[in-house]
Structure 1
Amino acid sequence: MLRTLFSGARDAVARVLIPDAAGTLKRAWSLRLIELAALADIILNVVPVVSDYLPWWLTLALLFGAWFARLLIQNKEAPVAHQ
């Protein structure tokens, strides 16, 4: 019974996940820039000493870079049809 339950769960997860997840993560520059912006914002707010060395606009620049990467760079790639 457990084997049937786990195989059903595995099939459900396989349908939800992206077939080429590794290739997608290699091209996901917007995700990387958003994560860097979040990290920079956390560092600037938690560690006040660092705010002397990092500019206040770093988070905004990274978020604009993520927007730029998402709209202009990633849309040029050919869409992959679901199989």
Structure 2
Amino acid sequence: MLRTLFSGARDVVARVLIPDAAGVYKKAWSLRLIELAAISDIILNVVPVVSDYLPWWLTLALLGGAYVARLLIQNKEPADGDKA
């Protein structure tokens, strides 16, 4: 029940803030890579045993990928500031 309630609330907020939130998230590779970088950094710092299997530079590589995805891969859309 709570999952349904929170899911519905999240959808309502997403529609108010971003009309096409699902479409934006499908194209937002930089956001996904930043989330993966954060998760890998947390895992590397919290669970020392995992540091033997994950390289220390994984977070840097994911953040670099997010930078490339944001600047090169995602399409730049024109600003809507001039529209009334």
For Structure 1 versus Structure 2, the TM-score category normalised by the shorter chain is 0.7 to 0.9
Residue 21 (structure 2) aligns with: 21
Residue 67 (structure 2) aligns with: 67
Structure 1 CA distance for aligned equivalents of residues 46 and 69 of structure 2: 28
Structure 2 CA distance for aligned equivalents of residues 28 and 72 of structure 1: 12
Structure 2 CA distance for aligned equivalents of residues 18 and 80 of structure 1: 15
- For normalisation by structure 1, the TM-score amounts to 0.73
Superposition RMSD on alpha carbons, in Å?
2.3
Q: Quick one: which amino acid aligns to residue 46 of structure 1?
A: V
Give a deviation string over 1:10-67, Cα, whole Å, max 9, x none. Answer: 8xx82xx111111000000000000000000000000000000000000000000000
Structure 1 CA distance for aligned equivalents of residues 51 and 27 of structure 2: 31
Unaligned ranges ≥5, structure 2: 1-11
Unaligned ranges ≥5, structure 1: 1-9
- For normalisation by structure 2, the TM-score amounts to 0.72
